[in-house]
Amino acid sequence: MSPTPEALPVVLLPVGVDEDALDACLAALEAGTPPGTRVWLADDAQAGPRGQAIVERWLRRTRLQAHYTRRQRPVGEVAHLHEVLAACGEADVVVLAPDTRPAPGWLGELAACLARDAAIATATPWSNAGEAAAWPRCGEINPLPDDPERLARACAALPPRHPELPAAVSHAVALRGSARRRAGGLDAESFGSWYAALTDLSLRLAGLGWRNVLCETCFVARSGEGAPADGDLDTLAARWPGWHARLAQFLMDDPLHELRQALARLQATVGPASPQRELFPAPPAPLPSAGEGREEEDARA
């Protein structure tokens, strides 16, 4: 049985200044996300008149349960995200960068990933520009995929093992709400970029026993990688002295190499989509009932 929209994470999209990227992101979000999914477009006074018009036009037409908020004055990327994540309480949330293009089925796969293991705090999908989660080449900005639907079907055919990542990556990340709250949320006082604040949150979650994993069964494309603000890398190095060396070692060793190769083989061999897929959509992996996994999670409290 397919999960109801209420059972899926809330999609949080911080609105950016790149209007063309925002337009493409909203189009891909509409095409690849189940109708009725809760979506929050959160604008830290970034969008100009054309960007606001793009959002308003999309809101009039979308099948998603979407809402748009805009601050009168910007407070900064991390402070704004901390504010909207706090407003979500303990709900599971997927933060989606505004220059991404999620492939079909992406959100259901991320929800299923969180449901498989109550120890997972963050789940990051593959991306062409995903640093440690980049595909087909690790640590590189690869071209946007030519056929996102075919790639999505190849990803969904992989066995869901959910290997560890050094930290979540900022193109798209599913955050378990209860874990985020227990870790204290984002550090808006120390970091200016979502890229660095997410890394810091991931490392704090790992220190508390949670997992930061790759959701290898879905893909979210992006035009470029996230970047730290001035001073963010120095702050990360001071707080987490081993972080940069750990990330560099992961990128050099590429422990996900065989998994990347498996995805490449599947992409080359996966068959065409069923002509009747719109009439008989394949259901995503079933989600557990609300009580399943709670005992293990409560033991972490």
Is the pLDDT confidence value at 277 over 50? Answer: no
Is the pLDDT confidence value at 37 over 80? Answer: yes
pLDDT of residue 273: 65
Which range is least confidently modeled, 13-27, 121-135, 229-243, 277-291?
Answer: 277-291
Cβ partners under 8 Å of residue 229, min gap 6: 77, 191, 192, 193, 196
Token reading at 277:
């897929």
Token reading at 81:
């995200």
Is the pLDDT confidence value at 290 over 50? Answer: no
pLDDT of residue 285: 42
Is the pLDDT confidence value at 254 over 70? Answer: yes
Compute and round to an integer the Cα radius of gyration of the chain. 18
**Long-range CB contacts for residues 236-239, cutoff 8 Å, separation at least 24:** 236/196, 236/199, 236/200, 239/190, 239/200
Residue 104: asked if its preceding bond is cis (omega within 30°), the reply is no
Which range is least confidently modeled, 3-12, 105-114, 253-262?
Answer: 3-12
Is the pLDDT confidence value at 77 over 80? Answer: yes
Tokens 């080449």 belong to 137
Instruction: Map out the domains of the chain as residue ranges.
Output: 8-270
Q: What percent of the chain has pLDDT over 90?
A: 86
pLDDT of residue 34: 96
- Contact between residue 85 and residue 93 where contact means Cβ atoms under 8 Å apart: yes
- How far apart, in whole angstroms, are the C-alpha atoms of residue 105 and residue 77? 28
Q: CATH for 8-270?
A: 3.90.550.10
Q: What percent of the chain has pLDDT over 70?
A: 89
Which range is least confidently modeled, 11-25, 29-43, 261-275, 276-290?
Answer: 276-290
Is the pLDDT confidence value at 117 over 70? Answer: yes
Token reading at 71:
């601050």
Over residues 179-198, the mean pLDDT reads: 96
Model confidence over 125-159: pLDDT tens digits?
999 999 999 999 999 999 999 999 999 999 999 99
Sheet holding 211-222, edge to edge: 65-70, 38-43, 10-15, 93-96, 172-175, 120-126, 211-222, 100-102
pLDDT of residue 127: 98
pLDDT of residue 4: 77
Nearest of 28, 25, 23, 31 to residue 48 by alpha carbon: 23
Is the pLDDT confidence value at 216 over 70? Answer: yes
Over residues 226-231, the mean pLDDT reads: 94
Over residues 116-130, the mean pLDDT reads: 97
Nearest of 107, 98, 116, 108 to residue 213 by alpha carbon: 116
* Average per-residue pLDDT for the chain: 91
pLDDT of residue 301: 43
pLDDT of residue 287: 41
Over residues 188-193, the mean pLDDT reads: 97
Confidence of residue 275 (pLDDT cuts 50, 70, 90): low
pLDDT of residue 300: 44
pLDDT of residue 7: 86
pTM: 0.89
